[in-house]
């Protein structure tokens, strides 16, 4: 019962944070990009990070609500995903010196999220 309540609270908070992030991102792209260079444009373009901050807060709150076993498993999964992300990004860094196109730092987040998903899925499948 407690686990379902915690999962529901986490999902709701995360969806709200994602909605805030999405709205701010669309506004930043729409209004920030065409603005003249300066501190105001920079603030507008970085404003989606407020939603990102809400996501971090949601994750921290979730970690505080779950039991020790779940916390340990999540931290193990994050550690493995972080190692995978490091390996992939370092490898691509060497590939860039070999002439591959330079990629935006945004790709690191994509690799990290993908790594977490793959690690979670793999560990679930291996347990069965």
pLDDT in tens, 81-125: 999 999 999 999 999 999 999 999 989 999 999 999 999 999 999
Say whether pLDDT at 72 is over 90: yes
| Mean pLDDT confidence for 61-81 | 94
DSSP code string of the chain = -HHHHHHHHHHHHHHHHHHHHHHHHHHIIIIITTSPSSHHHHHHHHTHHHHHHHHHHHHHHHHHHS-HHHHHHHHHHHHHHHHHHHHHHHHHHHHHHTTPPP--THHHHHHHHHHHHHHHHHHHHHH-
* pLDDT score recorded for residue 1: 83
pTM of the model: 0.78
* pLDDT score recorded for residue 50: 97
| Mean pLDDT confidence for 42-65 | 96
Cα–Cα distance measured from residue 22 to residue 61, given in angstroms and rounded to the nearest whole number: 21
Tokens of 80: 């493995």
Say whether pLDDT at 128 is over 90: no
Residue range 19-52, pLDDT digits in tens: 999 999 999 999 999 999 999 999 999 999 999 9
Tokens of 99: 């002439």
* pLDDT score recorded for residue 85: 96
């Amino acid at each position: 019962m407690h686990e379902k309540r915690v999962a529901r609270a986490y999902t709701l908070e995360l969806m709200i944070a994602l909605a805030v992030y999405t709205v701010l991102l669309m506004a930043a792209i729409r209004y920030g990009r065409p603005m003249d260079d300066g501190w105001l444009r920079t603030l507008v373009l970085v404003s989606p990070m407020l939603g990102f901050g809400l996501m971090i807060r949601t994750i921290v709150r979730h970690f505080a609500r779950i039991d020790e076993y779940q916390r340990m498993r999540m931290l193990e999964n994050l550690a493995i995903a972080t190692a995978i992300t490091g390996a992939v990004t370092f490898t691509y860094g060497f590939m860039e010196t070999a002439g591959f196109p330079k990629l935006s730092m945004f790709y690191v987040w994509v690799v990290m999220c993908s790594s977490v998903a793959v690690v979670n899925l793999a560990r679930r499948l291996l347990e069965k």
